[in-house]
Structure 1
Amino acid sequence: MSLYPWQQGVWSDLGRRHQQGGLPHALMFTGPRGVGKQVMSLMLARWLLCSERDRQSLACERCHSCQLWAAGNHPDFMLVTPEDGGRQIRIDSVRQLNEFLSQTPQISRCQVVILRPAEVLNHNAANALLKTLEEPPGESFILLESERFGSVLPTIRSRCQRVVLPVPAHAEAMAWLQQQGRSADQAADALRHNQGAPLAANAWLEDDGHAQHRRWLEELATWCDGRTRLDLALGHWKTIELEPLVWWMNRVAADLLRAACGASNSQLLDPDVPARLGGATLDRTKLLALQSRLAEVLAQVQGGAGHFNRQLLVESLLIDWRSLITQGRR
């Protein structure tokens, strides 16, 4: 594991802050999906636990602490994520975190906890974490990660120092993707579909995201044009995971809205979207209403706060999509 090229500036800044006055006990790494928040927090955790960190810009990888880290069983490190396939971090997990930090470090001079993602802490869990964030016991560090900073509870945000991991410059992202064996056309297409985030773009290519996008767009157009029945459309759409499906629909709706506002093809996720859904209404209010609903559902799905009947939700969204076409033909 190593830092990505676009992270070097943030890492150097953390090193300077440590030398000048020490790092705060609660840091929150924020940035969109696919910029390397997990790598940054893990690298910092390993460095904080390293016995030679005062003399190294990175963990030494030789000391007993680094050896335990490499083995995956460092006693002074804890990772907190949603449990048992759930989407929320619940109070029991935070109680374990608090108990862990109340103990004395066994190997290193400090203890480190990584909590990801911070936006899925439910209210009880967040309240249980507040005192620890305000008055961390001993020499301890809590590193939080968030893809949707605005969705993190204000009481948590206010007790952490934010470290933003921005999307790298387009040229730097392109260069990195081409180093991974991607062609220039593949890299540019993937970055456009993934908001310029190189790791998300690379994963999208590995999963053949372009073919999936074209397939889903054709299936959506077939449904909206009335060439298939609702039960047949549902037979496919209801088998797809909700988060990627709603995320994709939201992006397509955004393209239609941009086109309705006069955007050029170069400003669209996919210039073929308006053509494939060419019968859609250009009423910006209706397009905005659909996109707003998709964004709200997506936030609930990502935050684990929504309890949906999957089939009814997908059916409702498909009906909303077809209504755009119907309204556009009036």
Structure 2
Amino acid sequence: MSKLDFPWHEDAWNAFSAALEHDRLSHAYLIEGLQGLGKLHLAFRMAARVLGAPWPAEDPPIPLQHPDLTWVTLETDDEGKQKKQIAVHQVRETCAELAMTSHGGGWKVAVIWPAETLNPNAANALLKTLEEPTPRTLLLLVRSRMDTLPATIASRCQRIRISSPPRAEALQWLAPRGRDGNWEPLLDLAGGAPLMALLLADEGADELDMRCRKDLLGILGGRREPLEVAAEWARRPVPVTLRWLDVWTAALVRLKTLGEGPAGDAESARTLQKALERIPLQRLFRYRDEVRSAMVRSDGVFNPQMVMENLLLPWADQLASIRGDAAQGFLGDR
């Protein structure tokens, strides 16, 4: 089985191919879903299909190199650091390119990723092209976040939602790819996205899991200071750490609900059991809402250290109830 054989793409791919064959192709598609589902791969595969370019299964060219394809992504600054937004000049240049005659006498295609990073001026520039598209042009926008792209852009695209495959299917796809088939913990950490589970395995997520557990148990046992741990966590990839905290809290909810004792060595299990006896189930649910609110905002706009401090400080008092506005969730909806 090819590493790039993604069964969860097939419904979207078949619908797109049928639209192309019957001359019913939209002028713009918005491909959306969690990180780790291969959405960018699908966009370039679609571009290759429209442009008649070869698409080898084993080693496809990402980004696809073709004279009639424009690739729009985050630029780097003079110091080599990646910028946080797609700029207006990039979109204007792309729209001008789409308006020109095709080199091959056929379609012209632009792929924009990550579309959620379009700054307001860039989004406005793109809107003009979406409202008055040039014939035989195709825009493919790819995003992993649902809350930042203007509705005026999303509403003018045909949306392709890529969902995580069923758990059994995801585990079957991952099984021959190492770890003796033991992918369940990483698939949980990846939110059900198989490619993210692969990436986490490559980046040492097992070690991350061990370190995060040790840190939180240290806070619960009074052996670690929350602010010190927060400083360390803020230097790690924030989305992955928040996902770990979400999975950890969900596991505690299950233990609390089922009345089961935590696993692990005797000291760790005893520390966690004492904490679970003190923490109300409703408080765990509310805390998980706070973690998920932070996950939605983990795009570099906020201060990672402050977020980690706010999420870790409550553990020093076993998530004891707090008063005032913070009791509604410091990152929750106001």
Structure 1: distance between partners of 2:51 and 2:34:
27
Q: Partner amino acid for 1:30?
A: E
Q: Distance in 1 between matches of 2:185 and 2:34?
A: 18
| Deviation of the 1:320 alpha carbon | 3.1
* Aligned-pair Cα RMSD in Å: 3.2
Distance 1:70 1:295 in 2: 31
Separation in 1 of the partners of 2:13 and 2:289? 36
1:320 to 297, 314, 332: 314
Q: Distance in 2 between matches of 1:297 and 1:316?
A: 10
| Alignment counterpart, residue 106 of structure 1, candidates 103, 124, 147 | 103
Question: Offset at 1:327?
Answer: 5.1
Determine the C-alpha separation between the residues in 2 that align with 1:317 and 1:82.
Answer: 30
How much does 1:223 deviate? 1.8
The alignment's TM-score, normalised by the length of structure 1, stands at 0.79
- Paired amino acid for 1:195: G
> Percent identity among equivalent residues?
28
State the AA in 1 paired with 2:167.
H
Query: Contact 1:2–1:43 at 8 Å: present in 2 too?
Result: no
TM-score, normalised relative to structure 2: 0.78
Which of 12, 23, 29 is the aligned partner of 2:14?
A: 12
One-letter identity of the residue aligned with 1:291: R
Counterparts of 1:287 and 1:158, CA distance in 2: 37
What do the CA deviations read for 1:79-136 (whole angstroms, capped 9, x no partner)? Answer: 2222332333332332222222222222351111111222232333222211211222
Alignment of 1:147-226 (within 5 A): 147-184=144-181, 186-226=182-222
Whether the 8 Å contact between 1:224 and 1:325 is mirrored in structure 2 is no
1:237 deviates by 2.6
Code of the aligned partner of 2:110:
V
Q: Is the 8 A contact 1:117 1:146 kept in 2?
A: yes
The gaps in structure 1 that reach 5 residues or longer are: 51-58, 63-68
User: Equivalent residue for 2:325?
Assistant: none
Q: Is the contact between residue 44 and residue 63 of structure 2 (CA under 8 Å) also seen in structure 1?
A: no
2-structure distance, mates of 1:2, 1:258: 35
Does residue 239 (structure 1) correspond to residue 241 (structure 2)? The answer is no
Is 1:42 aligned with 2:44? Answer: yes
Aligned length: 305
Among 207, 224, 229, the residue aligned to 1:228: 224
> 2:313 corresponds to which letter in structure 1?
I
* 1:73 to partner: Cα distance: 3.9
Q: Which amino acid aligns with 1:14?
A: F
Q: Is the alpha carbon distance of 1:10 and 1:232 closer, same or farther for their aligned partners in structure 2, counting shifts above 3 Å? A: closer
Structure 2 residues without counterparts, runs of 5 or longer: 77-81, 323-334
SS at match of 2:191: coil
Counterpart of 1:78 in structure 2 is 70
Q: Is the 8 A contact 2:32 2:144 kept in 1?
A: yes
